Amino acid sequence: MQNGKLIIFSAPSGSGKTTIVKRLLSTFPQFEFSISATSRQPRGEERDGVDYFFLSAEEFRQKVTENAFVEWEEVYNGTCYGTLRSEMERIWAKGNVIIFDVDVMGGINLKRIFGEHACSIFIKAPSVEALRERLIGRGTDSAETIEKRVAKAEFELSKASEFDFVVVNDILDNAVAETEKIITEFLKR
Ligand code: ADP
Ligand code: 5GP
């Protein structure tokens, strides 16, 4: 595969990763989001081919067999997410920088695969309580799903030191500014 640069964002769900990534995408025109495949159902306004490629469990398994994924994980019980080789090739072919929003294990794997071509950033909420409040405030998940996501956060937080950078998302504007500084330095390399 042709090698360009990539920026990886991972965080416990609810930390504000999507919010930060959206801000960056609107600031840096050469950034393009890698649309993952998932076996979960769309929620809210999500659209196929925009937010994710929504696949059935069977279609997802088929792609695994075809070696279509650079990495994939069963992030939540029975729900799989994966980075498509074709997505990365499409974005690099245009000369763009790929932005990833992947789970913590996916982020660690992508960094291991792409080494110096990759900058991995872990986004952290100021506390687990703030994380829970943000998930409740987002209003997209059931109480049960929220508790599952919060329960997973402890494990995910224990992996933060395996990332190149950790950004605490307390005041959003500050977190965005810090992230922009990290990325600007990385792109100069
Ligand atoms: P993630 O992608 O990490 O799951 P989101 O970007 O969806 O998280 O953010 C979760 C919720 O928290 C959203 O409702 C978002 O508007 C809110 N949020 C994001 N950043 C902050 C912040 N710094 N302070 C308060 N709320 C925030
Ligand atoms: P959500 O269901 O909230 O959209 O995403 C759940 C989790 O799956 C998030 O932590 C998100 O980062 C992760 N995720 C999304 N796409 C991928 C992917 O391609 N690979 C991996 N490993 N995780 C992903």
Average pLDDT over residues 156-171: 98
In a domain, 126, yes or no: yes
Indicate which CATH number applies to the domain containing 159. Answer: 3.40.50.300
* Alpha-carbon gap, residue 136 to 35, rounded angstroms: 25
How do strand 37-38 and strand 79-84 relate by DSSP bridges?
A: antiparallel
Residue 9 neighbours by CB under 8 Å, 6+ apart? 17, 20, 21, 99, 100, 101, 102, 107, 121, 123
How far does the centroid of ligand 2 lie from the alpha carbon of residue 94, in Å?
24
Token pair listed for 33:
């989001």
pTM of the model: 0.95
- From the CA of 134, the nearest ligand is 1
Structural domain tally of the chain? 1
Query: According to DSSP H, which parts of the chain are helical?
Result: 17-27, 57-65, 85-93, 104-114, 128-138, 143-157, 172-188
In a domain, 48, yes or no: yes
Average pLDDT over residues 15-28: 95
pLDDT at 177: 98
Confidence of residue 166 (pLDDT cuts 50, 70, 90): very high
Confidence of residue 29 (pLDDT cuts 50, 70, 90): very high
Domain extent, residue 27, equals 6-188
Average pLDDT over residues 67-84: 94
> Does residue 63 have a pLDDT over 70?
yes
- Residues with CB under 6 Å of ligand 1 are 11, 13-19, 134, 137-138, 169, 172
Confidence of residue 1 (pLDDT cuts 50, 70, 90): low
Average pLDDT over residues 19-41: 95
In a domain, 59, yes or no: yes
Whole-number percent of the chain with pLDDT over 70: 99
In a domain, 1, yes or no: no
Confidence of residue 172 (pLDDT cuts 50, 70, 90): very high
What number does the ligand 2 atom closest to the CA of 38 have?
A: 16
How far does the centroid of ligand 1 lie from the alpha carbon of residue 24, in Å?
14
pLDDT at 77: 79
pLDDT at 2: 62
Average pLDDT over residues 46-67: 97
